[in-house]
C-alpha cells in the first residue's frame, strides 16, 4: 500500500519545550490512522504543522509523494488535505445548505467560469443537495446552524470537509462533546468512508479509536512511542504506562 502522508523527522519547539520531537510516521492510502496520546503529548501541534498553520523547525511532510512542508494552508487544501476542527468553524447565521454551498464554492472557485455564473451556481446547489441527500442532515437543510445540536454541527463539519474532496482528512477530536448515540452515529459515518478517503484521526475517545483505526500511533511528550494495530497498542506496556501509570489495561 502506498503512503498518502509521510512525515519524516518533524520537530517543533516552543522556547525550551520540544512539542514535536523528531516524529516520523506514515498514513497509508485508504487507511484510518489514529493519533493518540495523553494531554499535552503534542497531537494538536503535529496536526497544525500538517495543515500549515505552524511552521516546523525541522523535518519534512509529503502528501501523496509531493513535499508540502513549506506550502501555505490554502495550497495544501488544493492538493487534497482536508480537516475538521476541535471547535466547530461553521457560519452560525447561515443555513446548513448555505454552509455547504459555500464549502463547495470554495473548492470549485478556481474552476468556475465567470461568464457562466448562473450555470455554476446551479451546479453548486445541485451538488449541495446531493451531498445533503446522502447524509443524515437532509431534513435540516434550511435550518440555521445556530439551531443545530452539537452532534449535528459535528456531522455538518464532516460533510463540509468532504465537500473539499480531500485525499487525506485530518479529524481533530470528532467525538468531543458528543453523547453516546451521537458518537455511535459519527463512528458509523466515518466507517462508511473507509477506503474512500484516508484519515488521520486525533481522538481521546478510545472506544471510537479502537472501533475505527486500522493502525494507531502513540505520541508521548512529543515523541512517537509506537505505531501498531489496536491489539498491539492495547498490549504494549509502555502505552499503558504513558496513559495510566501502568496499572490498568487500556480499554
Ligand X SMILES: Nc1ncnc2c1ncn2[C@@H]1O[C@H](COP(=O)(O)OP(=O)(O)OP(=O)(O)O)[C@@H](O)[C@H]1O
Q: How far apart are CA 83 and CA 48, in angstroms?
A: 10
The edge-to-edge listing of strands for the beta sheet with 17-28 is 17-28, 3-14, 58-63, 66-67
Site for ligand X in 171-200 (CB under 6 A): none
Q: How far apart are CA 25 and CA 8, in angstroms?
A: 7
CB of 54 to ligand X, least distance (A): 8
Choice between 45 and 135, CB closer to ligand X: 45
Site for ligand X in 33-72 (CB under 6 A): 37, 39-45
CB of 250 to ligand X, least distance (A): 16
CB of 214 to ligand X, least distance (A): 21
Choice between 42 and 166, CB closer to ligand X: 42
For β-strands 32-36 and 215-220, DSSP reports them as: parallel
Burial group, residue 246, by CB count within 10 angstroms (0-12, 13-18, 19+)? exposed
Site for ligand X in 5-34 (CB under 6 A): 14, 17, 19
CB of 153 to ligand X, least distance (A): 19
Q: Which residues bind ligand X (CB under 6 A)?
A: 14, 17, 19, 37, 39-45
Amino acid at each position: 500500500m502506498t503512503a498518502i502522508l509521510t512525515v519524516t523527522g518533524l520537530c517543533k519547539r516552543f522556547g525550551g519545550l520540544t512539542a514535536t520531537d523528531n516524529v516520523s510516521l506514515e498514513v497509508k492510502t485508504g487507511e484510518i490512522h489514529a493519533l493518540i496520546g495523553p494531554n499535552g503529548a503534542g497531537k494538536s501541534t503535529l496536526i497544525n504543522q500538517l495543515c500549515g498553520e505552524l511552521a516546523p523547525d525541522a523535518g519534512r511532510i509529503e502528501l501523496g509523494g509531493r513535499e508540502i512542508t513549506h506550502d501555505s494552508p490554502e495550497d495544501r487544501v488544493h492538493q487534497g488535505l482536508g480537516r475538521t476542527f476541535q471547535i466547530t468553524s461553521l457560519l452560525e447565521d447561515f443555513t446548513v445548505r448555505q454552509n455547504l454551498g459555500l464549502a463547495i464554492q470554495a473548492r470549485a472557485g478556481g474552476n468556475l467560469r465567470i461568464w457562466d455564473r448562473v450555470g455554476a451556481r446551479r451546479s453548486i446547489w445541485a451538488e449541495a443537495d446531493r451531498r445533503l441527500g446522502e447524509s443524515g442532515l437532509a431534513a435540516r437543510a434550511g435550518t440555521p446552524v445556530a439551531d443545530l445540536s452539537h452532534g449535528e454541527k459535528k456531522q455538518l463539519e464532516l460533510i463540509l470537509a468532504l465537500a473539499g474532496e480531500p485525499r487525506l482528512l485530518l479529524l481533530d477530536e470528532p467525538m468531543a462533546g458528543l453523547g453516546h448515540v451521537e458518537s455511535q452515529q459519527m463512528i458509523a459515518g466515518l466507517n462508511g468512508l473507509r477506503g474512500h478517503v484516508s484519515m488521520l484521526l486525533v481522538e481521546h475517545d478510545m472506544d471510537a479509536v479502537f472501533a475505527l483505526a486500522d493502525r494507531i500511533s502513540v505520541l508521548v511528550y512529543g515523541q512517537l512511542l509506537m505505531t501498531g494495530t489496536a491489539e498491539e497498542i492495547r498490549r504494549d506496556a509502555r502505552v499503558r504506562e504513558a496513559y495510566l501509570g501502568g496499572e490498568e489495561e487500556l480499554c
